[in-house]
Amino acid sequence: MFVARPPCNRFQPDPLSYNTSLQNTPVLIVSVNAQLPVTNEFIQLPGFYDFNPANGGLPFGGPQNTIQINQDINLQKGRHSMQFGGQILYLQANNSYGAYEQATEQVGINRTAGLQNLLTGNLYQFQAAVDPKGALPCVRNPYTGALTQTAACSINLPATPPVFARSNRFHDWAVYAQDSFKLKPRFTLNYGLRYEYYSPVTPRYKGGASNYEPSTNTLLIAGYGDVGLNTNVASQAKETG
């Protein structure tokens, strides 16, 4: 007897969590969680995330596609009830998280300075996400606090925004064989073997996955250097498990 089950499903999260209408609205705050001195009410300025820029970003979320194929074969022969089968699973997780996609404009380092700079038109800090194109953060000198600038941590201007979308693919499969051997009318022996393979994540875009390699003290980024998109980034760091 043959049994085949080829299901396919698509999971779509709450569309309200993926609202992109405000994703290009900058954050404008006096200072982080600035409050009025008497009423302790938060000072709100026009913009996205009024009080604290660390709340998150938009868009957030995305659909997930799953394709799963199962094939089973049942065979009855004498005192043996055998079953063989396999499974193929393809999973595509599409997610976006716009962390700092909304530029952050902080007027002052604290409430007093922020209100004063608001009157004079000065800006204390501006932050926005940029595409590093494989560059790593510069190392800060622990004694002087200065950043050590090298080619590995430098990007060419003009800077461009990064891709906030992630499309991670997984290709898993499994095979098994089992048998119920009826040795006696009141004694049955059940035994079997199953082998499963779980593939590490394979990103669709450059920079969609990374992993730390402790043997060389380097960060492997998919799509940059000698690390390809189809190269198993996770398998190159077996020591980390």
Q: How far apart are CA 163 and CA 166, in angstroms?
A: 8
Phi/psi for 27 (5° steps) reads: -90, 130
Q: Which residue has the higher pLDDT, 18 or 198?
A: 198
pLDDT-based confidence at 16, cuts 50/70/90? Answer: very low
Burial of residue 143 (number of CB atoms within 10 Å: 0-12, 13-18, 19+): exposed
CB 50 within 8 A of CB 30: no
CB 94 within 8 A of CB 86: no
Whether the per-residue pLDDT at 117 is higher than 90: the answer is yes
Residue with tokens 């590995």: 152
Average pLDDT over every residue of 196-225: 80
Instruction: Tell me the whole-structure pTM to 2 decimals.
Output: 0.59
pLDDT-based confidence at 84, cuts 50/70/90? Answer: very high
pLDDT digits 0-9 by tens, 152-193:
888 888 888 888 878 888 888 899 999 999 988 889 999 999
pLDDT-based confidence at 151, cuts 50/70/90? Answer: confident
Q: How does the average pLDDT of the chain come out, rounded?
A: 79
pLDDT in the model for residue 240: 31
Q: Cis peptide leading into 214, omega within 30 of 0?
A: no
CA atoms within 13 A on the CB side of 55: 14
Closest CA to 199 of 176, 167, 222, 169: 169
Phi/psi for 239 (5° steps) reads: -65, -30
